[in-house]
Amino acid sequence: MLALKAENISKQYRLGQVGTGTLSHDLNRMWYKMRGKEDPYLKIGETNNRTEKGESEYVWSLQNINFEIEQGDAVGIIGRNGAGKSTLLKLLSKVTKPTTGKIYTRGRIASLLEVGTGFHPEMTGRENVFLNGAILGMTRKEISRKFDEIVDFSGVERYIDTPVKRYSSGMYVRLAFAVAAHLESEILIVDEVLAVGDAEFQKKCLGKMGDVTKGEGRTVLFVSHNMAAVKTLCNNGILLEKGMVKYSGNIDKCVSYYLGNSKGNEYIKSFDLGTENVRIRRIEVKNSGADDSKNLYENQEIELITDLHVLAENPERYHLTYVLNNEQSEPLFSLSHYEQFALQPGDQKIKCTFPAKYFQSGNYYLSLYIIEDRLRADFIESDIFTFIVEDAPREIGDWTGREPGYIRPTFKWNLY
């Protein structure tokens, strides 16, 4: 059963103005509408790209957004700053109307778009709990039934009869989240508010949102820049870029697409880096036996090939060490050739072969070190090379999901 559906929704803003900004623009729009013609200002405007200086005074914060969300889904909405995430949540929460398109919802919506959304600063915490419930269309009896649970979760019992204007930002967001999560709405929309709370509170909130979706069957839309939290909570994702949907689907693939796209992706990269003793010319990754490097499949051996030029008179003093990092730039492990062979003078290639099914699908980033005498790094380059490992085509009846983790080495097993 669908909980939310967005149909060709777009949102246009005029910079520096409220509405269209001038009486002439308003009259012009009315004139076109009376004649049954399209709004003329929908034909102009620039995409939402903060990295470029635009010339038009009209900007499309969102353009042609389409998606469907099933009841009970937990959906992470991710993207860079300015991609349109908060604007989308405001449209779904009916805080503002879309310029074009329609939004269909089933059930009541509880929104937490910023700290203390819907709170009146002069009213006490107790009064604001009942106010928020009334806004959601709940009766006083329904709110009273949940009240003690809300206060206990928020941890502000001592201050519940104090005006919320005297709350700290942490107390504010604790109570606001507790109200939104515990009142019986069918859809919970949460923007990047958990960043205000401490680590313990963030963990508590994620646990509650997990209970909301898995235990209570309610729908959650969650915006965050914390990819670990998004992957923990959500089963699906929507990636926004410059106000448009770039990917919608499985959360692991959505996060991988976002992180890989933000850092770039190569299978072959040429450069001239290093020291006066060792120069790195080229790095390539490919499946063993493949003619090109267009795709890397996890069920085949993967080769890491480095072209280098050694100028040192005593090349045995130098070796390369790589550090493999995951999507969150956390180091997984390091690897080096120095225990198996020494570098030679002049041009050469060194190759490391990873076994088939060693990697899970996802994005990986290589950092490179040139080490002298096994003691110090002569050269360090972080994230010098990036690559994506893809799920291989599966046979009918095979497992098609992605297992937890990043690598899956083969170990020796015995049965006694």
pLDDT at 327 over 90: no
List pLDDT tens digits, range 331-374: 899 999 999 999 999 999 999 999 998 998 888 889 999 999 98
Q: What is the mean pLDDT of residues 212-221?
A: 80
Q: What is the mean pLDDT of residues 211-230?
A: 81
Q: What is the mean pLDDT of residues 238-267?
A: 80
Cα dist. 197→14, 95, 176, 207 in Å?
34, 24, 12, 14
Q: How many CB atoms lie within 10 A of CB 30?
A: 10
Q: Kindly provide the residue ranges of all beta strands, DSSP E only, lying in 28-131, ordered along the sequence.
A: 46-47, 58-70, 74-78, 100-105, 109-112
Residues 6 or more apart whose CB falls under 8 angstroms from that of 159 comprise 125, 166, 167, 171
Give 189's pLDDT tier (boundaries 50, 70, 90).
confident
pLDDT at 41 over 60: no
Contact status, residue 318 vs residue 348, Cβ threshold 8 Å? no
Length of the chain as a residue count: 416
Contact status, residue 361 vs residue 349, Cβ threshold 8 Å? no
Q: What is the mean pLDDT of residues 270-284?
A: 92
Give the lowest-confidence range in 59-73, 106-120, 242-256, 273-287: 106-120
> How much is the pTM?
0.64
CA end-to-end distance (rounded Å), the chain: 50
Contact status, residue 189 vs residue 176, Cβ threshold 8 Å? no
Into which CATH architecture does domain 2-6+64-261 fall? 3-Layer(aba) Sandwich (3.40)
| pLDDT, the chain, mean | 82
Question: What's residue 319's pLDDT?
Answer: 95
CATH number of 268-389: 2.70.50.60
Sign of CA dihedral 157, 160, 163, 169: positive
Question: What's residue 46's pLDDT?
Answer: 46
**Identity (one letter) of the amino acid at 117?**
T
Tell me which of 136 and 321 has the higher pLDDT. Answer: 321
Give 260's pLDDT tier (boundaries 50, 70, 90).
low
Give the lowest-confidence range in 196-210, 216-230, 316-330, 345-359: 196-210
Residues 6 or more apart whose CB falls under 8 angstroms from that of 11 comprise 60, 61, 62, 84, 87, 91, 96, 98, 99
Domain locations in the chain?
Answer: 2-6+64-261, 268-389
For 303, the 3-state DSSP assignment is strand
Give the lowest-confidence range in 188-197, 230-239, 306-315, 342-351: 188-197
Question: What's residue 305's pLDDT?
Answer: 94
